Structure 1
């Protein structure tokens, strides 16, 4: 946890063996004279200006490679998740934009992030967009790419990232489908957490373990809230159970919470009893974990009183 608390936003490291582009030929041959200088300029920009929730590692022996992680922002279905991206600067950079690969674990969590690792973004020239949204060698930077992924892709309503769907934003039908999509993404985001815990990318192990040790109780508490209250949106089109919340969401969150708790326990840490937050199969209590804690407290207090 000390290493986690001291984890730098930007650092230069050595081991790039698990980097997606480690075997690429981008570093072979002689790059243009200004290439190395441009990469070093990018490093300085990142070191000085990285926003909260983005961490970057670059490689002393491979200037063409970079790895970044973006922490999911509160208020989005990606909240508390860790999303890793491997970047490669081509030999003709910055004439051409960087190549970006998303560590998906085979999961599709966003219309712009594919299960095969493809990242669709106008700034990367991997998606159509207006001219001012495209990569511009004179002004575009790696920092812009990361901030765009954080703000434009991993946002609160990713459903509207899908081409043609943005026009539905604000409509009853559009918001209903957006909520349904967020419910699906919530489960996928939890699966991504477990995948990342089991296989943390090199040079980020301390961040991964520390992050989830630090936030485990909060994450499981949120899952419990989702189970009890749904996503609290009037637009839901899912089948509702007797509580009035999405039946599908309740079942899926409940089914995956045990796996999530087991992953958190695997990395250690000091928690409240996380199992108390997992809904029981026959649970009728609106807050089983809280009631159980109250019962334990009462049992501890009663022997202190003399009823004679």
Structure 2
């Protein structure tokens, strides 16, 4: 993994979805941003982590801190910033799951967070919950958890946009300038009862063809009510950053025109 200066951003090789920054003045520090994987309630979000390498690295794993913004959007990522992961020795595990000084790497940690923590149904990351994965009860709870997770992910987006981590300001702005339209399309699809975290384009095509097996389940009313407000906040922030929001601004203008109350006509009273 390459080491950058304070003015350069180093990319990790994982399909350009994990980026890191290291500092020549503090070689024991590393800041990373992971882009939420498609097909999960974390899609298109930015998740920032700080790592500090101990003096005896690699005999012990680095210490990790997640930039939560006060939100807990995953059983493994605490609001206080704690990251529970076997590779970090902050969670139980055995064999290759634990840190191995001869084999384990920093890239392995980042990829594990992206693939194993930020997954399509994080509800089952909670200890013991995986036993309900094949039950209707478990799947229902997993869908509800996904709804809350996406709401937290949207709030994390707003937090990152308004208070981007130091030296990642341009990266944050550029990411949401590029992905803002896609995020808003997903929000609108969820408001139209597409399940959170699924492939939005495929789900919409299936709905149009009457082939979507999950079409009747939809999203909860409470989720939709909260998402409507977050949608407006995201639309404003993405517009400021230069994202392609014309479609949504136009729709908003039409709705505003349709719901606007007519102005009362002026009347004159003769004397």
- TM-score (norm. length: structure 1): 0.71
Q: Secondary structure at the match of 2:192?
A: helix
Name the structure 1 match of 2:162: 198
Q: Secondary structure at the match of 2:128?
A: coil
Q: 1:47 and 1:77, CA in 2 relative to 1: closer, same or farther beyond 3 A?
A: closer
Q: Is the 8 A contact 2:180 2:244 kept in 1?
A: no
Deviation at 1:112, TM superposition (A): 0.3
- Residue deviations 1:241-273 (CA, integer Å, cap 9, x gap): xx9642122212112211111211232345314
2:86 maps to which of 98, 114, 122: 122
Unaligned runs of 5+ in 1: 1-8, 16-45, 284-308
Name the structure 2 match of 1:207: 171
How far apart, CA to CA, are the structure 2 residues paired with 1:266 and 1:47? 26
2:238 maps to which of 250, 264, 276: 264
Name the structure 2 match of 1:255: 229
- Residue deviations 1:275-295 (CA, integer Å, cap 9, x gap): 3456969x9xxxxxxxxxxxx
Name the structure 1 match of 2:148: 184
Does residue 1:54 correspond to 2:46, yes or no? no
Name the structure 2 match of 1:225: 189
Pairing 1:57-68 to 2, within 5 Å after superposition: 57-68=21-32
Name the structure 1 match of 2:180: 216
Name the structure 1 match of 2:6: 14
Q: How many residues align?
A: 240
Name the structure 1 match of 2:71: 107
How far apart, CA to CA, are the structure 2 residues paired with 1:133 and 1:78? 23
Q: Secondary structure at the match of 1:214?
A: helix
Does residue 1:136 correspond to 2:100, yes or no? yes
Deviation at 1:78, TM superposition (A): 0.3
Pairing 1:167-182 to 2, within 5 Å after superposition: 167-182=131-146
Deviation at 1:207, TM superposition (A): 1.5
Name the structure 1 match of 2:209: none
Deviation at 1:216, TM superposition (A): 1.2
Q: Is the 8 A contact 1:224 1:277 kept in 2?
A: no
Deviation at 1:202, TM superposition (A): 2.1
Q: Secondary structure at the match of 1:104?
A: coil
Q: 1:276 and 1:181, CA in 2 relative to 1: closer, same or farther beyond 3 A?
A: farther
How far apart, CA to CA, are the structure 1 residues paired with 2:54 and 2:237? 37
- Residue deviations 1:183-232 (CA, integer Å, cap 9, x gap): 00011000000000111112222221111011111111110110012417
How far apart, CA to CA, are the structure 2 residues paired with 1:270 and 1:173? 40
Q: Is the 8 A contact 2:45 2:157 kept in 1?
A: yes
Q: Secondary structure at the match of 1:140?
A: coil
Q: Is the 8 A contact 1:220 1:277 kept in 2?
A: no
Query: Aligned-residue CA RMSD in angstroms?
Result: 2.8
Q: Secondary structure at the match of 2:172?
A: helix
- TM-score (norm. length: structure 2): 0.80
